[in-house]
């Protein structure tokens, strides 16, 4: 990954995208101003003893919009965290939730540290202290603001947050809903870890199912055989790659990571590559692929491919490298990987950009399912699984009796399976991504002056939020 460049700030890019969409929404200026602005910005500093020294840690929580509550969004641990970055990410969360009909306002948190420089014990101290600061100012709670994982955090940090919250709020029966992305054993949900990557895959697959959009770019229908380059093998990039290869029959031909890049037009087995990286600590030297040194790693993004998946950080594709991109589709798995100026060049070239605020919304969608599970205090599928299984079984028996034939044991098990939590989560996610993609595409087709999916996505989201405000009577 390259360091974010200073060309156009990330926040400015998000604002530019908003401003491009705003005139198509039919909403008045005052209302648009309210929808655009960040409602609450909480910047904090707190001391944590690391070894024998005290470090003063800088951290943020931004609640972008309170039009629906709770507010929702991940917490990022990164040395690049700044107030502007967290504001940009919180803003995106509001529109992301609206697009996939998740009834939350947007928020985001950031702790300005390099998490890889700390031991788990030190990270636990920082996480618990950060959570305490949020509790003190009423910036966390199942009905207030619900964090989740983001860059540099995962289920381990979410478990610490939940445990800290529970310690302070022991009578809150819904305490588990104060954070999502928790381990399954600690009130998490099956499928949350893969959710963003799986959502990215479903989004790409849906885009590839539109003949007109494929043929106009010289591609065939469907995902099978399509080539993909991925930037970033973190949670999102690695799940996207694995699911694209195993379920979509796509060919991963390039990978870029911190230590360097790889390219092999014949294909890179992503499962083997992830094992190789686990064993050697690096992707470099993976058999059969051309390696790119650390300083040239972004050159991988400029290689020939059907789909480029930036799954790392923001501001990766700018006016500098956009002219060299050869991909026909860019699938924004990361938040804000293309600057608004970089995008102009890509759209000019006819690249189909599947925007972040839709494409990586699988994470928050499954977070919503987890929050619902926490509030209902029951896992999904518990009530209906056996009932459905027994009904399907009776149906198979009836078919066997009337047709005087036997259905094999294996087939019976597949057909008569009641849905587990993971089946329901995946099905809810698939439904969400398919429906939302088509909603965005239809907005684009309906409004002749809109020619890209991002603007269409922003328009749909702004209109939904606007109608919430109007229904509340805030802007009569």
Q: How far is the CB of 200 from ligand GLU (least distance, A)?
A: 11
Q: How far is the CB of 363 from ligand GLU (least distance, A)?
A: 4
Scanning 129-137, 285-293, 359-367, 442-450 for contacts with ligand GLU by CB under 6 A, the matching segment is 359-367
Strand-pair category, 53-63 with 40-50: antiparallel
Which residue's CB atom is positioned nearest to ligand GLU?
74
**Which of 244, 154, 223 lies closest to 192 in space, CA to CA?**
154
Query: Which tokens sit at 451?
Result: 């020619």
Residue 291 binds to ligand GLU (criterion: CB under 6 A): no
Site for ligand GLU in 127-166 (CB under 6 A): 148, 150
> In terms of CB distance, is 214 or 366 closer to ligand GLU?
366
Q: How far is the CB of 371 from ligand GLU (least distance, A)?
A: 9
Residue 91 binds to ligand GLU (criterion: CB under 6 A): no
Query: Which tokens sit at 59?
Result: 């951290």
Of the candidates 70, 73, 197, 237, which one interacts with ligand GLU according to CB under 6 A? 73
Residue 336 binds to ligand GLU (criterion: CB under 6 A): no
40 phi-psi bin (left φ>0, alpha ψ -120 to 50, beta other): beta
Q: Which long-range contacts (CB under 8 A, 24 or more apart) does 24-33 make?
A: 24/447, 24/449, 24/450, 24/455, 24/459, 25/459, 25/462, 25/463, 25/466, 26/463, 27/462, 27/463, 27/466, 28/475, 30/475, 31/466, 31/469, 31/470, 31/475, 32/462, 32/466
> What 3-state DSSP class applies to 409?
helix
Measured in whole angstroms, how far is the alpha carbon of residue 315 from the centre of its chain? 16
> Per-residue x/- mask for ligand GLU, residues 94 to 113, rule CB under 6 A?
--------------------
Q: How far is the CB of 189 from ligand GLU (least distance, A)?
A: 11
Q: How far is the CB of 180 from ligand GLU (least distance, A)?
A: 5
Q: How far is the CB of 74 from ligand GLU (least distance, A)?
A: 3
Residue 68 binds to ligand GLU (criterion: CB under 6 A): no
Beta strands in 246-332 (DSSP E): 251-257, 260-263, 290-292, 307-310, 329-331
Residue 335 binds to ligand GLU (criterion: CB under 6 A): yes
Those residues whose C-beta lies under 8 Å from the C-beta of residue 272, and which sit 6 or more positions away, are: 286
108 has catalytic annotation? yes
Scanning 19-27, 262-270, 297-305, 360-368 for contacts with ligand GLU by CB under 6 A, the matching segment is 360-368
Query: Which tokens sit at 2?
Result: 């390259």
> In terms of CB distance, is 76 or 251 closer to ligand GLU?
76
- DSSP characters over 219-263: --SSSTT-EEEEE--SHHHHHHHHHHHHTT--EEEEEEETTEEEE
> In terms of CB distance, is 2 or 367 closer to ligand GLU?
367
Residue 374 binds to ligand GLU (criterion: CB under 6 A): no
Q: How far apart are CA 285 and CA 351, in angstroms?
A: 31
Of the candidates 4, 74, 188, 254, which one interacts with ligand GLU according to CB under 6 A? 74
Residue among 108, 182, 226, 328 flagged as catalytic: 108
What letters, b where the CB count within 10 A reaches 16 and e where it falls short, cover 231-243?
bbbbbbbbbbbbb
> In terms of CB distance, is 263 or 358 closer to ligand GLU?
358
Scanning 61-69, 71-79, 288-296, 447-455 for contacts with ligand GLU by CB under 6 A, the matching segment is 71-79
Scanning 3-11, 33-41, 68-76, 263-271 for contacts with ligand GLU by CB under 6 A, the matching segment is 68-76
Of the candidates 363, 381, 460, 466, which one interacts with ligand GLU according to CB under 6 A? 363
Q: How far is the CB of 150 from ligand GLU (least distance, A)?
A: 4
- DSSP characters over 101-134: T---EEEEEEE-S-GGGS-HHHHHHHHHHHHHHH
> In terms of CB distance, is 25 or 180 closer to ligand GLU?
180
Those residues whose C-beta lies under 8 Å from the C-beta of residue 222, and which sit 6 or more positions away, are: 208, 209
Of the candidates 240, 360, 432, 463, which one interacts with ligand GLU according to CB under 6 A? 360
The H or E element spanning position 76 is strand 71-77
Residue 367 binds to ligand GLU (criterion: CB under 6 A): yes
Residue 180 binds to ligand GLU (criterion: CB under 6 A): yes
Scanning 16-24, 322-330, 363-371, 385-393 for contacts with ligand GLU by CB under 6 A, the matching segment is 363-371
What are the CA-CA distances from residue 457 to residues 23, 69, 432, 451 (Å)? 14, 21, 14, 11
Residue 72 binds to ligand GLU (criterion: CB under 6 A): yes
Dihedrals phi, psi of 196, to nearest 5 degrees:
-65, -45
How many amino acids of this chain bind ligand GLU (CB under 6 A)? 11
Q: How far apart are CA 311 and CA 238, in angstroms?
A: 9
Give residues in contact with ligand GLU (CB under 6 A).
Answer: 72-74, 148, 150, 180, 335, 360, 363-364, 367
Catalytic residue positions, numbered: 108
């Amino acid at each position: 990954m390259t360091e974010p460049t200073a060309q156009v700030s990330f926040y400015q890019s998000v604002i530019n995208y908003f401003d491009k969409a705003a005139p198509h929404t039919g909403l008045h200026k005052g209302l648009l101003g309210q929808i655009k602005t960040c409602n609450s910005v909480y910047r904090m500093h707190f001391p944590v003893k690391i070894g024998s020294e005290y470090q003063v840690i800088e951290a943020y929580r931004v609640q972008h919009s309170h039009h629906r509550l709770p507010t929702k969004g991940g917490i990022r641990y990164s040395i690049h965290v700044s107030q502007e970055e967290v504001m940009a990410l919180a803003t995106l969360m509001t529109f992301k939730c609206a697009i996939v009909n998740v009834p939350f306002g947007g928020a985001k948190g950031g702790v300005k540290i390099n998490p890889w420089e700390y031991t788990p014990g030190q990270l636990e101290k920082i996480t618990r202290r950060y959570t305490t600061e949020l509790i003190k100012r009423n910036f966390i709670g199942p009905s207030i603001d619900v964090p989740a994982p983001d860059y540099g955090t995962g289920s381990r940090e979410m478990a610490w947050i939940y445990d800290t919250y529970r310690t302070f709020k022991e009578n809150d029966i819904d305490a588990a809903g104060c954070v999502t992305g928790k381990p399954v054993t600690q009130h998490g949900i099956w499928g949350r870890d893969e959710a963003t990557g799986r959502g990215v895959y479903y989004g790409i697959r849906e885009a590839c199912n539109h003949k007109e959009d494929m043929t106009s770019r010289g591609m065939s229908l469907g995902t099978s055989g399509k080539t993909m380059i991925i930037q970033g093998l973190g949670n999102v990039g690695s799940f996207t790659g694995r699911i694209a290869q195993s379920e979509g029959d796509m060919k991963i031909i390039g990978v870029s990571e911190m230590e360097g890049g790889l390219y092999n037009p014949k294909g890179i087995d992503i499962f083997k590559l992830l094992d190789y990286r686990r064993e050697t600590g690096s992707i470099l030297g993976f058999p059969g692929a051309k390696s790119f040194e650390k300083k040239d790693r972004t050159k991988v993004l400029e290689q020939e491919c059907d789909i480029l998946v930036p799954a790392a950080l923001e501001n990766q594709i700018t006016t500098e490298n956009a002219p060299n991109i050869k991909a026909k589709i860019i699938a924004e798995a990361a938040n804000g990987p293309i600057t608004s100026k970089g995008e102009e060049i890509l759209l000019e070239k006819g690249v189909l950009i599947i925007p972040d605020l839709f494409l990586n919304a699988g994470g928050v969608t499954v977070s919503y399912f987890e929050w619902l599970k926490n509030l209902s205090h029951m896992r999904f599928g518990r009530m209906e699984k056996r009932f459905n299984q027994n009904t399907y079984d009776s149906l198979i028996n009836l078919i066997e009796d009337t047709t005087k034939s036997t259905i094999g044991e294996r087939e019976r098990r597949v057909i008569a399976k009641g849905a587990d939590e993971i089946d329901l989560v995946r099905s809810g996610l698939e439904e969400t991504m398919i429906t939302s993609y088509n909603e965005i595409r239809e907005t684009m087709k309906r409004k002749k002056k809109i020619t890209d999916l991002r603007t269409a996505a922003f328009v749909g989201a702004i209109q939904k939020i606007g109608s919430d405000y109007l229904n509340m009577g805030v802007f009569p």
